[in-house]
Amino acid sequence: MRWFIPTSILISMATPALAGDVTPMTNAEAIALVQEHANFVWTLMAACLVFFMQAGFSLVEAGFTRAKNAINIIMKNLMDFSIGSLAFWAIGFGLMFGHSLGGFVGTSGFFLSDFTGEGEEWTLAFWMFQVVFAATAATIVSGAMAERTKFTGYIAYSIFITALIYPVFGSWAWGSLHNGSGWLENLGFIDFAGSTVVHSVGGWAALAGAIVLGPRLGKYAANGSIRPILGHNIPLAGLGVFILWLGWFGFNAGSTTTADKSIALIFVNTNLAAAAGAVTAMIVSWIRFGKPEVSMSLNGVLAGLVGITAGCANVGPAAAIIIGAMAGGIVVSSVLFFEKIRIDDPVGAISVHGVCGAWGTLAAGLFNTGGTSLGIIGVQLLGILACFLWVFPMAWLMFKLVDRFIGLRVTADEEMEGLDFSEHGGNAYPDFRASGAGMSFDGGKGSGEKRPATASTAVLTQS
């Protein structure tokens, strides 16, 4: 049933008072005002959904890792958003959306100082939507560096990525959304909601962090075989994935910043890609491990969501299923690949966000409903490469500097004891002893050859 508001009522609702006189708006002006207000409400509600994704990331990471590090994980995710918000307000937003210097970086709007007067309200709403994106890019890295990172070193990283690494690349691809004009978007780069701008940025930074840190103690045996280190609470991780799935509707559809019917296609594409990613990851892991492995299936959901993010507004539903299904298969292979080359990523963040973000960005060009060409595909590949060449070296250098001057990795004793106790003086689960809780590995001869990095089907053994 459609509701009809008479024009007379619409005009009276939107009638301003000027100097004591009532001056009715025209019908067109009243409709435009209502649309403008709806855009504000939709954008801010979408920002709330994306903010709620922080809870999802926290639960996924906590569930996929050991009980003795749960407090540390919550603290890292809390500080990603809290410190990241301040850094993005002070520096990042201006670099990303200020008046552009040659299409490479913004030069105004630091501390929101240049965005006052006319249009100030929209700038504030737009900043709120963008800061939750910046926090998402930052929090992706937490999972890949879980269970062995010093808290102080991690805080330094969180400031650096939200103030510099993420905003600079964001200005290349999205600068024109406010005051800038990025060189990459001027070439026609397609990344509607951030498969590369947000997710690959976080994924490649995560890769640098995992490399600089090295694997967790006990991850690899003396003979080089892989020892799965089991997550302590898979239902918690599953809840986190469902929260992320919900939040992603705001992430993708909210990127319209417009309350109109175009969001319907984006909702459908987002959901279909996630579902296809889950099913494909389940099938591939079932074939690979002999059982429908739950952690891979959960990561398949996230892979599908990351994959569709770039093209959610410019591909059809059938293409969204293909994109999500491919992402679900890619993430399983990618997790196993990084594990084999001794890059320890406890939650699969590099594969989900970095690798599947690159796939999704390429797919946005391949399946573009407006048509594709070698030129479009070339620009997509250029954007993927530019992201990696900017983010990975900068993040690697940053992590090296943090390691040198602050310290990046905890001591072996602290890692064995658990970061909850050594870094925060607490214990998330009082029934577990802080020392050694959740340290057991999956046993059985050759088990490391059959179980993925985020294997989850065995229970936590208390020490």
Q: Could you tell me what percent of the chain has a pLDDT over 70?
A: 87
Residue type, 201: V
Mean pLDDT of 175-187: 88
Supply φ then ψ for residue 106, to 5 degrees: -75, 150
CA distance 357 to 342: 22
Mean pLDDT of 177-205: 94
Residue type, 412: A
3-class DSSP state of 294: helix
When computed from its CA atoms, the radius of gyration of the chain, rounded to whole angstroms, is 23
The 10 Å Cβ neighbour count of residue 193 is 27
Mean pLDDT of 416-423: 95
Terminal-residue alpha carbon distance, the chain: 61
Instruction: Please enumerate, as own/partner, the contacts of 118-126 that have beta carbons within 8 Å and a separation of 24 or more.
Output: 121/40, 122/40, 123/178, 125/40, 125/43, 125/44, 125/47, 126/43, 126/97, 126/177, 126/178, 126/257
Q: What's the pLDDT at 116? A: 55
């179980």: which residue's tokens? 451
Do residues 85 and 170 lie in contact, with contact meaning Cβ atoms separated by under 8 Å?
no
Inform me whether the pLDDT recorded for 25 exceeds 90.
Answer: no
In CATH, 37-111+122-416 is 3.40.630.30 = no
Mean pLDDT of 242-248: 98
Nearest of 434, 396, 425, 414 to residue 211 by alpha carbon: 396
Q: What's the pLDDT at 435? A: 42
Mean pLDDT of 285-291: 96
Give 73's contacts (C-beta < 8 A, 6+ positions apart).
58, 61, 62, 65, 142, 146
- What pTM value is reported for the model? 0.90
Inform me whether the pLDDT recorded for 227 exceeds 60.
Answer: yes
Give 387's contacts (C-beta < 8 A, 6+ positions apart).
169, 196, 197, 200, 201, 204, 358
Among the residue ranges 52-61, 104-113, 137-146, 239-248, the one predicted with the least confidence is 104-113
Give 87's contacts (C-beta < 8 A, 6+ positions apart).
158, 159, 162, 163
* Helix and strand numbers, DSSP H then E, in the chain: 18, 4
